[in-house]
Amino acid sequence: MGKGIFITVEGPEGAGKTTILKIVASELKEKGYPVIYTREPGGIPIAEKIREIILDKSNIEMDPKTEALLYAAARRQHLVEKIIPEINKGKIVLCDRFIDASIVYQGYARGIGMDPVYLINEFAVDHVMPDLTVYFDIQPEIGLKRIQQHRETEVNRLDLEGVQFHRKVREGYKLLLRKYPERIKELDADRPLEEVKKDTEKMIMDYLQKRSFLVK
């Protein structure tokens, strides 16, 4: 790919990653960095329509493999239509979730298997992986409580899963942390927003400096 950088954030429901990533993206733009914020599933019209199907609370009968394939389809379109073109332009793409979410949610928590879900997504992403992934860690009970307290935010089908499902999600992320320690970096998300935001921005800035990515 081009000279840009691809950074993702991951974490269980209620970790605060979406709120913080939007703030960090805005602050990096103010500093002159060519930042693009996007999300998964979504980011472009086709993928946003698939998102509506996946997260619709009425689709409780959805089969886990159907869910995994829909995520992969949305990811493929998002990748070729937005992520790769922006990276090729030299942009910093900050993405709220990517392939790790599917491996954890559908592969581990749904019980399909992490390897089969990885293979589905390997076909979809064509070996394009994040340069850096920031993982927001939080106990599921705390994350779900946050969601209950902020009902004005989007509450989706995954939020309605039982706490045991969300414990499996966290376990899955911990497995990926051990498997990809060079790419995935962990932050404690059970702290005041400003502290987590500050550490997130520092982690991203340290990586940009490591890659000698300078504001033009």
Nearest CA-CA partner of 64 in 167, 158, 194:
158
- Average pLDDT, 10 consecutive residues per value, the chain (216 residues): 89 94 97 97 98 91 96 98 97 98 97 97 96 97 83 62 92 98 97 97 97 83
Tens digit of each residue's pLDDT (9 = 90 or more) over 49-108: 999 999 988 898 999 999 999 999 999 999 999 999 999 999 999 999 999 999 999 999
What six digits make up the tokens of 142? 């705390």
Q: Residues marked as binding for ATP?
A: 11-18
The answer regarding whether domain 5-210 maps to CATH 3.40.50.300 reads: yes
CA 111 to chain CA centroid, Å, is 20
Name the residue ranges covered by the structural domains of the chain: 5-210
Q: Residue 146 CB: number of other CB atoms within 10 A?
A: 17
Query: Residues forming the annotated binding site?
Result: 11-18
The string of DSSP letters for 38-59 reads EESS-SSHHHHHHHHHHH-TT-
